[in-house]
Structure 1
Amino acid sequence: MADRGHHDHGRGHGHGHALSVGADRRYLGGALALIVVFMAVEVVVGVIARSLALISDAGHMLTDAAAIVFALIAMRIAAKPPRGGFTYGLKRAEIISAQLNGITLLLLSAYFLYEGVRRLIDPPEVEGVYVVLTGLTGIAVNLAATWMLSRANRSSLNVEGAYQHVLNDLFAFIATTVAGAVVWSTGWARADAIAALVVAGLMLKAGWGLVRDAGRVFMEAAPVGMNPAEIGQKIAALEDVAEVHDLHIWEVTSGYAALSAHILVTPGADCHAIRQAAERLLRETYGIDHTTLQVDHAPPELVTIGEAQAHCADPHGPVHSGTPAMKEQK
């Protein structure tokens, strides 16, 4: 008897994270408070010291603050239960948050790259002592903020994005402090512009990573590290499986992989047992807990000849053959 459309909803996407969402919000809120207060101080000192490195750091910290705010909002939205046409709920709110954070970083990196090059050509006077003192304070603030965010659940892309923002800002403050020390001790003002270019490079790297990873989720690509062809072949290699097709793997949101497939089994085989074996393989080997598997008996000619048949009105993707003849060749 065919087994059509079993759904396994009981696991996946770190559902246990709901238990710690309150703690995550507290950690993110504490980091946000530290960052906002210091960012305001840094802008004032950066203007007084005429330091692009400090102002660029403040711009980076603004994106850090925005990343945390977006993460907090996305957490609240994503926690809403499925309703109406949103059958998965609003879990992709965090992916929108990550995409916004990434785009903001890319735009800021472009601006500071331009300003950094301009100041390399025509460097202004920079008050190195202000830069050093502010940079050292920034290192301490970002160490505290990074520690707070590291305590939150970083399996979420937007929480990880906020963490990477603050971590990169820590590296940027180290570069800024070194530049301030060079300006203070030698008077070489171009060191400030070089530090700003380093900050811009860190922004570019972090921003591109967020845009790329969020884009993969929006485009319904397979999660990083999962090879659909390999997974299809593994399922096809199970006992009594004749063919696997219409295999789709995607992420509902970060850390929440889902899979659907049509599996054809040899006549007389136990569809229910094979579905359970496939689910166990996917869960234990690939960590995919949310599966929708349609299992049917294959027509005799598919098993004996080993040729793909048109079993679906609109088939998608490659066919993974698991006929007995092919299994003997493996």
Structure 2
Amino acid sequence: MSAHHHHHPHDHGHAHGPHADGLGNEKRVMFAMWLTGGFMVIEAVGGVISGSLALIADAGHMLTDTGALFLAFIATRLAKRPADGARSYGYARAEILAAFTNGLVMIGVVAWILFEAASRILSPSPVMGLPMLAIAITGLLVNIMAFKLLHGGEQTLNMRGAMVHVLGDMLGSVAAIAAALIIMGTGYTIADPLLSVLVALLILRSAAGIVRESAHVLMEGTPEGAEGERIAGDLMANVEGLADVHHVHAWSLGSNRAVATLHARLAPGIDPGMALAAIKARLAAEFGIGHATVQIEEESCPDHAAGHAH
């Protein structure tokens, strides 16, 4: 079995070859994370000083992003480890658990923003338009930089997820810019809480998505496109010598890490080793299932039973 020949060079004194573009996914995600995380603090403080709820809401949105980028960062780190089922179970799940918690916290933030917005709509409070505008514009630039960083990397599921966040964040900054312009132009400070509601809904959308997906993983839900019947049908159609495939379970450990268990009954005279290798290869290629536990059942005739010393 060539299971141990993982295609990764054994550490040559940690000398990594230079990337074509000089920046790997991991570094890109890390820079983007520090950018949004750092600016988030400035924006929150600016929101409090200028009295703008839209800025505080946008900072809240940046908090979800920084969280998402952090998870993407952990995931890119973990993806580098040699694939070995038992060891990485724990880490992959920690990432999902963090995402779940992050999502719940953000839903709490949304509730607070909506509550605060309602009270400000009822009794408008003064907002300084100019500092608000300056901070919101800087926020937009920070997001554009983060987006460019992420866009240049390889497109994995995590990178795409992080990009979607940063894009949503741009909308948040645009809303804050719009509110600042309306306030400076017309003096209607109510624009600030109104647009903060819009940003809160943006946060709610991404937070609800995160909670739903991570809860699905935590509940051992089936990865998208890897439903049991579908896997069974696909194996029956594409792997020779299978008489029946049943008890198929697929679930994910974390982002991009699907696992499966199944029973396969072989047609008479089929070599179990070959069948096993073929099943595993098909699961990896078609469903991205990197770790499968397959129980082989042979159509055993009585005279076969003696020759079971493989």
Question: With structure 1 as the length reference, what TM-score do the two structures score?
Answer: 0.74
Which residues of 2 match residues 104-183 of structure 1 at below 5 A?
Answer: 104-152=105-153, 155=156, 157=158, 162-183=162-183
Distance in structure 2 (CA, Å) of the matches to 1:263 and 1:79: 32
Deviates more, 1:138-147 or 1:41-50: 41-50
1:62 CA displacement:
3.2
2:208 — aligned with what?
208
Q: CA deviation at 1:263?
A: 0.7
CA apart distance, 1:297:
1.6
The change in CA–CA distance for 1:132 and 1:290 in structure 2 (over 3 A counts) is same
Q: CA deviation at 1:113?
A: 1.7
Separation in 2, partners of 1:78, 1:282: 19
1:95-153 per-residue CA deviation (whole Å, 9 max, x = no partner) reads: 22322322222111111122222222222232223322221111111111222233455
After superposition, the Cα gap between the structure-2 partners of 1:222 and 1:289, relative to the gap in structure 1 and judged at 3 Å, is: same
Give the distance between the partners of 1:287 and 1:72, measured in 2 at CA: 21
Aligned letter for 1:203? Answer: I
Q: CA deviation at 1:29?
A: 3.0
Indicate how the Cα distance of structure 1 residues 169 and 139 shifts in structure 2: closer, same or farther if over 3 A, else same: same
Cα 1:33/1:277, change in 2 over 3 Å: closer
Q: Which amino acid aligns with 1:102?
A: G
Distance 2:161 2:259 in 1: 22
For 1:292, what is the secondary structure of its paired residue? strand
Matched residue type, 2:207: G
Q: CA RMSD in A?
A: 3.4
- Aligned partners of 2:67, 2:255: CA distance in 1, in Å? 19
Q: Give the structure, 1 or 2, with the largest relative contact order (CA under 8 Å, sep 6 or more).
A: 1
How many residues align structurally?
288
Give the deviation of 1:154 after TM superposition: 5.6
**Helix, strand or coil: the match of 1:264?**
strand
**Range that drifts further, 170-179 or 116-125:** 116-125
Residue matched to 1:260: 261
CA contact (8 A) 2:64 2:203 kept: no
Q: Secondary structure at the match of 1:291?
A: strand
Q: Which residue of 2 aligns with 1:191?
A: 191
CA contact under 8 A between 2:103 and 2:208: conserved in structure 1?
yes
Task: State how far apart, in whole Å, the 1-side matches of 2:157 and 2:2 are.
Answer: 24
TM-score, length basis structure 2: 0.78
- Taking the aligned partners of 2:5 and 2:197, their CA distance within structure 1 comes to 48
Aligned to 1:317: none
Q: Distance in 1 between matches of 2:96 and 2:79?
A: 10
- CA distance in structure 2 between the partners assigned to 1:99 and 1:10 by the alignment: 35
Q: 1:267 to 1:25 in 2, by over 3 A?
A: closer
Q: Distance in 2 between matches of 1:138 and 1:87?
A: 37
